Structure 1
């Protein structure tokens, strides 16, 4: 198939399909205005894929409010393969398509779609074509874009054709512009050879090179506007279609209107609805012959979306109302309840409680299928039809919540504002307080969010104490992110004043809130014991209460209990992977990466953060991306990757400027200071640590944890006076925390500041004893390095070499290059010849290759690994293929004999 003027675009699509035939995957959005040739390029791809498996889907404008309608249309031919997917994914797709009642995770549905396409691709390369993607329902679009971003080595080519309103971040794009004059002239001559020169020039000028305009406008010359009064090009084409419809028989015009207002292309429904209007099936013939409709495969489809628009637009309002009534009457099965409700809503001219109730029921069903955008639309329309103000406000509040769940925060804010103007029911307004607080927080208005939450809780404290408590917990958490002691204390005090009972199950939360206020106020002796109690409870709970266990894991990071925090985080992630909870998985990965970082398991931290960042990117969690990048900046600092560290940290700091969340930016500031310290830029390191300790972070845990680095920088500059304050800061926390590793680091700091050799020796010895009880090899290596330097300066070279060798071994193992280089330099100064370190094979693996290899070493199959890592089995196979030569192995069984830590 040759498309005039599209050689470059055709070549790009041909290359994409060739990659699929070679077992690689790719996705592409073909973007442009109506009629520009997007569908023609999809048709070209379809012809090229002769012999390949193919799936065809399309977005239908009138189906945009039906959850997963477009995804179901696309995947319907493959549903017999659903049973081959991991159980959580099977349940997710069945729930999305209304085949089961299990409520699916909306992110898991995207993974299930990827797995289903991958399952199909096992039989050979697969081409997936989605036309009019801008009209897909939001749920389907999210699932398919998630799939598109995670394609790798499955042999799948996924092409979308869409207008500019279709947002597809992370997916490559091919933009179509108008044909050049030569190609436009050739196309016009091919389809309308007998045009006179004046009309030809007018059409060429008017069309702007739009292929559909070049084909359609000459058919109805009177529909062309005067050149002096130009209309937008799609409108010109639409008017040309309207003129062509106007000359069709009246019954055919009615049949076209019924087809245009139908939302599923169901031929039987359209014919039955037309029959209620006195129009027989024979009216389809002229529409088919004129190229407006196709009835192939028992489904009705328009030759072009603008034909549907033209058929609906030219009808009077009363005609459309009559047709919607007829369509509602033709949809009499229970499975058509949602479509029937929407048609009735389109036909009603005033308030109507029964129809509003039917739409609310449709919204409930949409929510059960994770169709939050569809639920929001149904509830908003239901509210407009609701006669009473209080009930209207309730439905609008539900619509606002659903819109927020769908990620449409701006629209959720508009709906919430409308609710506040409509009614004064305290429960409804309080429900909205949590939503409005979340929206304000996401917009960066964190102080506004706090006040909204406090006011919302106060408004229902006497009506619903538990709901008030939940709102106040949100206020505590938001104020914690602000690092605002007064705000946390205020919210915690209000929470404590509520007349809660043991049956409310809030006692632990109240104590935790009070403890968070105590921590920010500096009262560590009161703050840490409640944290320890909650950690012990979370360790004892292997499953369930996932979000709560993640929060407790964060408390473990604050109290320094990294071993238990790591165990909780790992159990949470195992549960999220097993159940396919993608939304919570990325949050669990944040806390896991941070605990791995603290424990010196830097490769693990990078692997976790890399996977988590990609997942957070795929599902639009911008705050989480910043969290991951701040942790990655810390690891880059330890490893001496200066450019990576600065880029990651600066992005995190820029995010903080727009969204002032102190807990995110803390690691970025620490990372930049640690980078300077590792590179020997002690003055820059000290100044950064001092500034960070006095800034927004001053009440958070990071200034406590970087205090030893700040002390080291001051000592190396010969400025012990500037180490006094950070020593007090760390000492007060370490005394309250009671962890061996903290005691070891505290003695290290005291040794650096000791007044004489005997005092220093005592602290070095105590540091070594405490390190022996702890599980923090990197911190122990830092102590060994400083102790070894001290011993060498004291001319105790033999003893110094023992410490320095131990430090070097650890630094090499964790790839802490600047610190390893310093240990080597000290060893050389102590008179020891230092051989280069043995090559580290694990360091040759990418983070994802390392994850795949570790799971493969346990005996897990590719399919099980894929389900855990939210990949396809073929991508897993690709990673193993690349990893084996790097590790010097040829079989999976050899992996079990390697040290992959």
Structure 2
């Protein structure tokens, strides 16, 4: 018995020992199981499974084979080489049971022997069909019989007719005939037989299959692979095997045309070869015409001898689908497989015919000419270059990259090829493929290094290094290439990115060099900008107050020229930045500029977090992270993760904070990206601070201003100054809190930024002094501070805590209540819980007593907390830090506790009933 082929059709490669597991084939397997069950009960049946190559027909046959262990199983895999040998399929199918041929009636046995080649008698179709039917029915008297034939399209004509005859007559006997074929049974020998078209897997089923093929694949690759495979299990197998080339293949083959592996290519070549020459050409014409324009394919077909019969054959084979004026395939992977599976000569013939039907000005014509071109063809290369320029104007950067890449292959000289590859790299970057852009740039430099690469590539080398997260190297390339590019606007963008890269390092020298470039260098002169905006400096006293000018310029500045978002926040220009992003982001989406879109989303996420639009911030950060990871842009991805980390810290999700910061620091510290390292340390500090662990918070936050530390960064030290001051006050480091308060006051005087003015007042109020209340009130009254709701709510909370310690409970409740409302709306759980506890402490005394207990013997809520911490053997100073009260107040409360409980030592507080909960 010829064994069934194991193969990648929905569940890996099944074997006798390990039956195949199918995903998403409930209806088909239920139908097969029903046929087998009916055969066991004495009733036969037939089913033809049909569909495109690789779609899962063989896996379903294997499923039936594995489920029919109690059957006599006869199987055959038809092959193309034997398609012209009469009865070759029947010979392979019946070879295991040829011993039973002699038991047939006298008239049938010789006919079947002749068909099987064991006698020289003449063959006749009808007696042979009857003989096979009799043989199977006789065998079925002992046990049910299962006949399986795969690749039915390659069965020889004689066997196909015989099986068709048999399949229509087995219903009265326990015989099941299962056939798998590429094409529609109605146009083959299986007309009239029950059939089921096998369609592609659903996305969920495809994910399940991919999990068994590549269990450790990341989500982005899973999503891309499932999309590219189009539900074809064999395509999933090949993409899982060759998936590393997905991104590059997209730019080489074009958008919407997934790469095809060798097995899928062979399978579709076999399907195409099974067609007549005219139908074969028609199928390839449809695959070569990317837009699926039926009229164009029809005109090209008519010019090459394709008639209605060819259309019927191609659609009947299940390869082509025609709907109104559109002709195409079930999924782009099928189109790719058809196109790559045919012979190269047939592809060239199809492209030549399509080019002949199109007018000279048609954009598609040049692609067909390029597909036909051999060797060097400068004329076609120039046409492709022109087509790429038009594509970039309409935002089709991926198409432009593909055109320029092909133009480079056809270029007459290495320098021409190098220039076109450099420009292709720039287009590939705009389309969101950093890996492809880097490869194209490397190839351009290999062919002909020189200044033309920076000029035609728009300074891409520095852009790529910045995206990868190597800012010092990026700064070097960007400042050099700024002088090479011809377009003044591009030069200015490169200078701005150089400044951003320098700012990311957190060091003075490279920034000073960039500022000089912006001030008086070529980029500044050529763009008509006599001096850069004030926001490019975070030095506390470099310039007089320029916040108004910065805000005005931010409102009319193009997105690539805006400062780093944290620096913009420090300057208080977040509102105009947010407006600029709101206007510009839809434009980036329409043009498909994935790299700039990811940057805009990273910026928007941080601005929305500060503005209290946390769901929007999470959405932008998540989308930006997905784009950045797909592009391979580590720096962008880390910026998006940082925003998610700040959200997690404010929401109390410390596990996410730990994961995000660890991942960020793993790459940012070795590469010297101090901005990202500082953001990670600030994130950790906030998480600890919100969870009321000031010692741990301060340990992280002081690194932002620690000379020589990998997280030292002046902008982030400034933005985190209030958090540092709060943690420092709680641990008794008033000197450090004073230093941070002065830094905020200096910055507030320079910029007038609302956040800085409010934070400076709050930091001053947290320190001991007679004017604390004036400082709190001043902080809450700063114009514009409400646009930073978390900061504003924290000011209310701090003020309320101060009022409560001053025993002004009614005033305290008002302030804390305002904070609770905001924390609740934002979802800031740790701060919300802290505010609730503070509010409890401000309740009227009568609420804390029990009606049936003497008040002198009942602990207040604050006494309860002091007692519980003292029971853990914490010192008075440690208790004071956690409860934000003085150590003398702790001593006062402990004295009350001892008196009310009638005990004398802290050890006695450990008794289970010593500190019962107050009512």
TM-score range, shorter chain: 0.5 to 0.7
Question: 1:332 — aligned with what?
Answer: 358
Pick from 690, 696, 714 the counterpart of residue 684 of structure 1.
696
Deviations 1:508-567 (A, max 9, x none): 5x345xx62x42xxx32225745541212345x5xxx551685487644122x2xx5225
Q: More deviation in 302-311 or 695-704?
A: 302-311
Structure 1 position 805, deviation (Å): 3.8
CA change 1:531–1:213 in 2 (3 A) is: farther
The 1:218/1:445 distance shift into structure 2, 3 A limit, reads: farther
In structure 1, the residue matched to 2:55 is 37
1:607 is matched with which residue?
A: 615
Task: Give the aligned partner of residue 403 of structure 1.
Answer: 428
Counterpart residue number, 2:722: 708
User: Could you tell me how far 1:314 is from its partner in structure 2?
Assistant: 7.0
The reply to whether residue 489 of structure 1 matches residue 501 of structure 2 is: no
Aligned to 2:119: none
Q: Distance in 2 between matches of 1:739 and 1:302?
A: 59
For residue 649 of structure 2, the aligned residue among 622, 634, 637 is: 637
Distance 1:364 1:627, change over 3 A: same
Q: Distance in 2 between matches of 1:485 and 1:732?
A: 19
Q: Which residue of 2 aligns with 1:803?
A: 812
Give the direction of change, closer, same or farther, for the CA distance of 1:384–1:607 in structure 2 (3 Å limit): same
Task: Give the equivalent residue in structure 2 for 1:504.
Answer: 527
Q: 1:373 aligns to what? A: 398
Q: Could you report, residue by residue, the CA deviation over 1:269-309 in whole angstroms, capped at 9, with x for unpaired residues?
A: 556556666x4638838965994876856776689988996
- How many residues get paired? 631
| Matches for 1:221-236 after TM superposition, within 5 Å | 233-234=263-264
Matching of residue 533 in structure 1 with residue 553 in structure 2: no
CA contact (8 A) 1:397 1:419 kept: yes
Q: Residue 557 of structure 1 aligns with which residue?
A: 569
* Cα 1:636–1:503 shift into 2, 3 Å: closer
Q: 1:804 to 1:736 in 2, by over 3 A?
A: farther
Residue 687 of structure 1: CA displacement? 1.0
Aligned counterparts of 2:762 and 2:716: Cα–Cα separation in 1: 18
Q: CA RMSD in A?
A: 5.0
Name the SS for the 1:688 alignment partner.
Answer: helix
Gap regions ≥5 residues in structure 1: 15-32, 42-174, 202-210, 223-230, 755-759, 837-901
Residues 292, 474 of structure 1: alpha-carbon distance in 2 compared, 3 angstrom cutoff = same
SS state at 1:507 partner: coil
> For the residues of structure 2 that align with 1:783 and 1:265, how far apart are their CA atoms?
62
Contact 2:605 2:621 in 1 (8 A): no
Deviation at 1:609, TM superposition (A): 0.8
Cα 1:525–1:586, aligned 2, differ >3 Å: closer, same or farther? same
Task: Look up the SS of the partner of 2:457 in the other structure.
Answer: helix
* 1:781/1:314 CA distance change after superposition, 3 Å: closer
Residues 1:344 and 1:764: Cα distance change in structure 2 (over 3 Å): same
Once the two structures are superposed, what CA deviation does each residue of 1:857-888 show, in whole Å capped at 9, x if it has no partner? xxxxxxxxxxxxxxxxxxxxxxxxxxxxxxxx
Partner of 2:692: helix, strand, or coil? coil
- The structure-2 alpha-carbon separation of the partners of 1:188 and 1:308, relative to structure 1 and needing over 3 Å to count, comes to farther
Higher mean C-alpha deviation, range 307-316 or range 674-683: 307-316
Cα offsets for 1:95-147 (capped at 9, x unmatched): xxxxxxxxxxxxxxxxxxxxxxxxxxxxxxxxxxxxxxxxxxxxxxxxxxxxx
Shift of 1:354: 2.1
Match of 1:36, SS? coil
User: Is contact 1:751-1:763 (8 Å) kept?
Assistant: yes
1:472: which partner in 2?
495
Distance 1:239 1:419 in 2: 35
Change in Cα spacing, 1:311 to 1:390, as seen in structure 2 (3 Å) is closer
Match of 1:852 in 2: none
Tell me by how many angstroms 1:9 deviates: 1.0
TM-score when normalising by structure 1: 0.58
The separation in 2 between residues aligned to 1:258 and 1:741, in whole angstroms, is 64
Report which of the two structures shows the higher radius of gyration computed on alpha carbons. 2
Greater RCO (CA < 8 Å, at least 6 residues apart) = 1
1:372 Cα deviation after fit:
1.9
Residues 771-823 of structure 1: per-residue CA shift (max 9 Å, x gap): 32342465455455545555665xx423x652354134323432354445445
Change (3 A) 1:354 1:740: closer
Q: Decide whether the 8 Å contact of 2:294 with 2:326 is kept in 1.
A: yes
Aligned residue for 2:682? 670
Q: How does 1:258-657 map to 2 (within 5 A)?
A: 273=300, 279=305, 281=307, 284=310, 291=317, 315=343, 317=345, 321=348, 324-329=351-356, 331-333=357-359, 337-423=362-448, 426-432=451-457, 434-459=459-484, 468-499=491-522, 504-508=527-531, 510-512=532-534, 516=536, 518-519=537-538, 523-526=539-542, 529-530=545-546, 532-539=548-555, 541=556, 545-547=557-559, 551=563, 555-559=567-571, 561=572, 565-566=574-575, 568-570=577-579, 572-573=581-582, 576=585, 590-591=602-603, 593-595=605-607, 597-598=609-610, 602=612, 604=613, 606-616=614-624, 619-620=627-628, 626-643=638-655, 645-647=657-659, 649-650=661-662, 652-653=664-665, 656=668
- The Cα shift of 1:188 comes to 5.3
Distance apart, 1:418 and its partner CA: 2.6
Query: What is the aligned partner in structure 1 of residue 92 from structure 2?
Result: 196
Shift of 1:637: 3.2
The 2-side partners of 1:200 and 1:644 are apart by 63
* Structure 1: distance between partners of 2:847 and 2:601: 38
User: Closer, same or farther in 2 for the Cα pair 1:670/1:352, shift >3 Å?
Assistant: same
The superposition leaves residues 41-87 of structure 1 with CA deviations (integer Å, 9 ceiling, x where unpaired) of: 9xxxxxxxxxxxxxxxxxxxxxxxxxxxxxxxxxxxxxxxxxxxxxx
SS of the residue aligned with 1:196?
Answer: helix
Is 1:772 aligned to 2:781, yes or no? yes
- Verify the 8 A CA contact 1:401 1:412 in the aligned structure 2: yes
Separation (CA, whole Å) in 2 of partners of 1:282 and 1:743: 79
C-alpha deviation, 1:485, in angstroms:
2.5
Distance in 2 (alpha carbons) for counterparts of 1:533 and 1:342: 50
> Deviation digits for residues 684-716 of structure 1, max 9, x if unmatched?
111111234333442232212322322332332
CA distance in 2, matches of 1:668, 1:303: 47
Residue aligned with 1:680, SS = coil
Question: How many angstroms does 1:676 deviate by?
Answer: 1.8
Shift of 1:328: 2.3
Whole-angstrom CA distance in 2 between matches of 1:687 and 1:696: 14
Structure 1 distance, partners of 2:692, 2:782, is 30
Matched position secondary structure for 2:778: helix
Q: What is the DSSP-based 3-state SS (H/G/I as helix, E as strand, rest coil) of the residue aligned with 1:441?
A: helix
Measured in 2, the distance between the counterparts of 1:272 and 1:783 equals 74
| 8 Å Cα contact 1:351-1:386 kept in structure 2 | yes
CA distance in 2, matches of 1:567, 1:787: 30
Structure 1: how far apart are the matches of 2:330 and 2:618? 45
Whole-angstrom distance in 2 between the partners of 1:547 and 1:303:
40
Shift of 1:363: 2.2
